[in-house]
Amino acid sequence: MQDLLQPIMNGILLGGLYAIIGIGLSMIFGIVKLVNLAHGDLMILASYLSLVFMMLLGVPPLVTFVFAVPAMFFIGFVLQAYLINRVLGKGMEPPLILAFGLSIITQNCLLLVFTPDARSLISSLSVTTIQVAGFLNIPVIYLIDFLIGLVVISVLHQFLQKTYMGRAIRAASDDEGAAQLMGINTKNIYAYAMGIAMITAAIAGVLVGMTFTFYPHTGPQYLTIAFGVVIIGGLGSMIGTFLGGIILGLAQLLGGYFLGPGLQLLSGYVILLIVLTVRPQGIFGRVT
Amino acid sequence: MLKVRNLDVHYGDFQALWDISIEVGKGKVVSIIGANGSGKSTLLNTIAGLLKPSHGVIEFRGESIHKLGPHEMVARGISLVPEGRRLFPSLTVFENLIIGSYAPRSRKKRDLALGKVYELFPILKERASQMSDTLSGGEQQMLAIARALMSDPSLILFDEISLGLAPLIIKNIYQTVREINQQGITVVLVEQDVKRSLKAANMAYIILEGKVVLQGEPSTLSEKTVREAYFGL
In a domain, residue A244? The reply is no
In a domain, residue A36? The reply is yes
- Determine which of A80-84, B62-66, B200-204, B224-228 has the lowest per-residue pLDDT on average: B224-228
CB contact under 8 A, B88 and A180: no
A183 near B CB under 8 A: yes
B141-170: average pLDDT: 94
Q: Amino acid identity, residue B121?
A: F
Give the structural domain span for A36.
24-217
Nearest by CB to residue A181, choosing from B80, B95, B98, is B80
- Say what angle helices A238-259 and A264-278 make with each other, to 10 degrees: 130
Backbone region of residue B39 per phi and psi (left: phi > 0; alpha: psi in -120 to 50; beta: other values) = left
Domain layout of chain B by residue ranges: 1-77+155-233, 84-152
Predicted local distance difference test score (pLDDT) of residue A288: 54
Which is it for the CA torsion A152, A154, A156, A158, positive or negative? negative
Nearest to A233 by CA among A144, A149, A174, A133: A149
Q: Nearest chain A Cα to B152, which residue?
A: A182
Banded model confidence at residue A74, pLDDT cuts 50, 70, 90 = very high
CB contact under 8 A, B74 and A171: no
In a 3-state reduction of DSSP, which class is residue B216? strand
pLDDT above 70: residue A61: yes
CB contact under 8 A, B98 and A164: yes
**How far does the CA of residue B190 sit from the closest CA of chain A (Å)?**
17
The number of folded domains in chain A is: 1
Mean pLDDT computed over every residue of chain A: 93
Q: Count the alpha carbons within 13 Å of A64 in the hemisphere toward its beta carbon.
A: 29
**DSSP conformation class of B212:** E
B176 near A CB under 8 A: no
Nearest to B194 by CA among B30, B34, B24, B20: B34
Q: Give, in order, the Cα–Cα distances in Å from A111 to each of A47, A117, A216, B191, B201.
A: 13, 9, 5, 62, 69
- Determine which of A133-147, A169-183, B114-128 has the lowest per-residue pLDDT on average: A133-147
Predicted local distance difference test score (pLDDT) of residue A134: 78
Mean pLDDT computed over every residue of chain B: 93
CB contact under 8 A, B71 and A164: no
**DSSP conformation class of A285:** P
**Residue-wise pLDDT tens digits, A93-109:** 999 999 999 999 999 99
Contacts of A171 in chain B (CB under 8 A): 88, 91, 96, 99
Q: What is the pTM assigned to this prediction?
A: 0.92
Contacts of A31 in chain B (CB under 8 A): none
Q: Nearest chain A Cα to B81, which residue?
A: A181
Cβ atoms of residues B70 and B86 within 8 Å: no
**Residue-wise pLDDT tens digits, A108-158:** 999 999 999 999 998 888 888 888 877 888 999 999 999 999 999 999 999
**How far does the CA of residue A12 sit from the closest CA of chain B (Å)?**
30
CATH architecture designation of domain B1-77+155-233: 3-Layer(aba) Sandwich (3.40)
CB contact under 8 A, B87 and A180: no
CB contact under 8 A, B74 and A181: yes
Predicted local distance difference test score (pLDDT) of residue A3: 83
**Residue-wise pLDDT tens digits, A200-248:** 999 999 999 999 999 999 999 999 999 999 999 888 788 899 999 999 9
Q: Nearest chain A Cα to B100, which residue?
A: A182
Cβ atoms of residues B109 and B101 within 8 Å: yes
CB contact under 8 A, A183 and B74: yes
